[in-house]
Amino acid sequence: MYTFTGFNRRRVLVYATSLAGALALSGACQAADQVVLAGYGGSIENAMQEKVIPAFEKKTGIKVSYVVGTALSNYSKVVAARNSPEVDVYWSNGLTHVAGKQQNLYEKLDPGIVTNLSDVYDSAKDPDGIGVASYVLATGIEYNTKAYADAGIAAPKSWNDLWNPKLKGKVALYTFNVAYSQDLLVIMTQLAGGTAKDVQPGLDKLKSLKASGNLTTFSSTPAELDNIMVQGQSWVTVNGSARAFILKNQGAPIDFVFPKEGAGFFTNYFDVVKGAPHPKAAQALVDFLISPEAQAAIAESTVTAPINKKTKISDKLAAEVPNGDEIAHMIQIDRGIMNANLDKWASLWNRQIEGN
Amino acid sequence: MLMSTHTDTTDVAGPKRRFGLRIPTTLLLLLPGLAVFSLFFVLPLAILAVNSFHGYSRLSGISPDFTIENYVLALSDRYYIIILTKTFSLALSSAFFTFLVGYPVALYFYSASERQQGWIILLILSPLLVSVIVRTFGWLVILGPNGLVDVVFKAFGLEGGSILYSQTAVVIGLVNVFLPFFVLSVATSLNAIDPAVPLAASSLGASPLRVFASVVFPLSMPGIASGLLIIFSLSSSSFVTPALLGGSKFRVLSTEIYQDALVLQNWPFAASLAIILIFIVLAVLVAQNTFVQHSRYRVVFH
């Protein structure tokens, strides 16, 4: 007769006690000073792990765990865990910053802790004091310099240069899932004389770009678009300045243009999550992230404009990021209207621009 | 009734030991599996199903009321019906082409010597060592404009070499990714055939073709059936390959779910699309089962 003797009462008790002990121990470790930052991968992560986070840990003794994701995937985590947040500081993008504010997901910054806020440009501050911009970049035109030279096309200057008849089949755009295309829709609408309340004029403009035969490629990820542009499958696209300059600095035949009608104003934000497990440490981290020291490291690695006035950056970087005059000339995008209408816009874009 | 010749029912210890296991112990042994299964599969699925009947507004988030609006939209709007049709046709065609490409490979494996079989298995499995994303990016370069296929087409003065962002491109990518699963499924079935059976057929005067058509192929049906089903369900829910190779011109349910869940944060609508996808796969499973039960080959499935 087969009998199972693996468990008797004493043994079960021993296992249960040791399990409880282990759980209590891990709980104790969590209580120590630490903070969870949900941010981006790639070159940003490298800069954060190598420079910014070690400097913060040395200065404050607070351990940072850096969760890698995209603005959207991290936002989903913040929304899903809204009743018991795991993330302290969430690195949002312009849209998820507004969407999260709307849904009451973020805490106000504490001016008593975030003292660096006084050195931040006004355009980078949030009107309600919830969160602060992490850097500024531009949505503009990225093009392949070699392909342009070979075809004898002058470098683009204006948004309208995308309609150049020599660019048949050579214009690529992101799908609507990527923020730059959402912004492009608003930019095109404003150029066509409309407002963000009704984006049909912008859709019509993009439809005409497709009808001209120029716009044939839609790319669903930044990595894919980089590939298409560097390989020369497409010659011109609409992208963030940071992405284009990183490619250029790696030696790719890529350059970026701030269109004369104005490039799009693009920011990401540091937001403290409401009900965060380490609220004090979260505020301290945001304060450090917008300090001149951290801003310089973040700006250099991401090729973006710092938001702290006292930040010192190299001349090379200064030439590649929007400066004060250019920022003033940039096209501002009303994220509140965008947030309220994004599903309608996605549906219109899917049916009219990308099509089936 | 078929009876397996390998089970030796006269073994004294055999049946006694098997039935001597007391039920509580059996349950105890099942418990970890059941717990994992219900906690990580049944429960999330139930939450998904409940969620799919909620409403959503971008300004106020998910509303807890009960509504069938999501399903009405997904099943009545022409845009989503086209996407449903495309998903179904993609899964069917990738299952079919995996069969066309994979069956001969499995047959070759079956007829190879034991030493060769080891190498063939290694070759079949080796693509799995490279991530799907990397392989899909490879196809992106090969199938894209000025890619290998396009260049060869142009050398012969032909148009249309750039097949990226089409169903063809996605099917090519999926067949590449899923081939090992199909080959292994069929090879297992083929290897289970008693070598004496095809030999008996030839000794009775059947030509090699006849042996294949009347003996080997029918006996490999269980492997084909499970292989096709695996490929169908994997293809209908695959995301990376359609997203990269289908792009925005070839949209399927999985890429649509991604947009609704992640970009637009409309989890209830995304959940309803996911539930519809599950029902498509279930429907095919049931259809295949029914077909098998009534086909003339049903005997090989027992």
| 8 Å CB contact of B263 and A350 | no
Q: Which of B265, B267, B273 to mutate to test the interface with A (most CBs of A within 10 A)?
A: B265
Question: pLDDT band at residue B294, thresholds of 50, 70 and 90?
Answer: confident
User: Residue A117 in contact with residue A111, Cβ under 8 Å?
Assistant: yes
How many beta-carbon contacts under 8 Å exist across A and B? 87
B153 pLDDT exceeds 80?
Answer: yes
A232 in contact with B, Cβ within 8 Å: yes
What confidence score (pLDDT) does residue A5 get? Answer: 42
Distance from CA of B83 to the nearest CA of A (A): 8
What's the pLDDT tens digit per position in A224-236? Answer: 899 889 989 899 9
Q: How many CB atoms lie within 10 A of CB A32?
A: 10
> What pLDDT, on the 0 to 100 scale, is given for residue A20?
52
DSSP B198-225: HHHHHHTT--HHHHIIIIIHHHTHHHHH
Nearest by CB to residue B259, choosing from A177, A227, A228, is A177
pLDDT score, position B14: 44
Does position B302 have pLDDT exceeding 70, yes or no? no
CB contact under 8 A, A76 and B21: no
Listed in sequence order, the residues at least 6 apart from A235 whose beta carbon sits closer than 8 Å to its beta carbon are A143, A144, A147, A148, A151, A153, A167, A170, A171, A229
Record the pTM: 0.84
CB-based contact A129:A108 (threshold 8 Å): yes
Cβ neighbours of residue A97 closer than 8 Å, sequence gap 6 or more: A106, A126, A131, A268, A269, A271, A335
Longest dimension (CA), chain A: 89
| Greater model confidence, A27 or B155 | B155
DSSP 8-state secondary structure symbol assigned to residue A8: -
- Dihedral pair phi/psi, residue A238, rounded to 5°: -110, 120
Tokens for B209, please give them.
């073709």
State the smallest CA–CA distance between residue A158 and chain B in angstroms: 26
Please say whether the beta carbons of A293 and A310 come within 8 A: no
The CATH architecture to which A28-136+267-329 belongs is 3-Layer(aba) Sandwich (3.40)
* Per-residue pLDDT at A23 exceeds 60: no
Q: Measured between CA atoms, how close is A66 to chain B, in angstroms?
A: 21
Chain B: residues touching A (Cβ < 8 Å): 17, 20-22, 25, 28, 58-59, 61, 79, 82-83, 86, 137, 140-141, 144-146, 165, 243-244, 247-249, 251, 255, 258-259, 261-266
Q: Name the residue of chain A whose CA is nearest to B252's CA.
A: A356
Query: What separation in angstroms does the CA of B217 have from each of B5, B124, B297?
Result: 22, 21, 10
Tokens of A312: 């010192």
The pair of structure tokens assigned to B71 is 């399903």
d(CA A330, CA A265): 6
Is residue A51 classed as helix, strand or coil in its secondary structure? helix
The verdict on a CB contact (< 8 Å) between B20 and A76 is no
Q: Which residues of A touch B261 (CB under 8 A)?
A: 76
Alpha-carbon distance values, B203 to A122, B190, B220 (Å): 91, 20, 21
Domains A28-136+267-329 and A137-265+334-354 share a fold: yes
Interchain proximity A76–B259, CB inside 8 Å: no
Q: Is the pLDDT reported for residue A2 higher than 60?
A: no
Domains assigned to chain B: 77-301 (1.10.3720.10)
Mean pLDDT of B268-272: 97
What percent of chain B has a predicted confidence (pLDDT) above 70? 92
Q: Which residues contact B143 (CB under 8 A, 6 or more apart)?
A: B149, B150, B162, B163, B164, B169, B172, B245
Q: Do B144 and A228 touch (CB under 8 A)?
A: yes
List, in order, residues 6 or more apart from B261 with CB less than 8 Å away: A76, B267, B270
Looking at the predicted structure, is the pLDDT value of residue A193 above 60?
Answer: yes
In sequence order, which residues have a C-beta less than 8 Å from that of residue A187 and are 6 or more positions away? Answer: A139, A159, A202, A262, A264, A331, A333
CA distance B133 to A276: 34
Q: Where do the domains of chain A lie?
A: 28-136+267-329, 137-265+334-354
Nearest-by-CA chain A residue for B242: A220
Residue type, B199: L
Please tell me the distance from the alpha carbon of residue B178 to that of residue A68, in angstroms, as a whole number: 29
User: Buried b / exposed e across B257-286, counting CB within 10 Å, b at 16+?
Assistant: bbbbbbbbbbbbbbbbbbbbbbebbeebee
pLDDT of residue A326: 82
- Helix and strand numbers (H, E) in chain B are 16, 2
Residue A31 has pLDDT above 70, yes or no: no
Q: Strand (E) positions, chain A?
A: 34-40, 63-69, 89-93, 106-107, 132-144, 171-174, 215-219, 236-240, 254-257, 264-273
Q: Which phi-psi region, left, alpha or beta, contains residue A50 (left: φ > 0; alpha: ψ -120 to 50)?
A: alpha
What is the Cα–Cα distance from A36 to A285, expressed in whole angstroms? 10
Distance to chain A for B110, nearest Cα, Å: 40
Instruction: Report chain A residues whose CB lies below 8 A from the CB of B273.
Output: none
A173 pLDDT exceeds 70?
yes
For B241, name the nearest residue in chain A, comparing CA atoms only: A220
CATH architecture, domain A137-265+334-354: 3-Layer(aba) Sandwich (3.40)
Interface contact flag, A76 B265, Cβ < 8 Å: yes
Which residue does chain A place closest to B82, by CA atoms? Answer: A356
Report CB contact under 8 Å: B79, A350.
Answer: yes
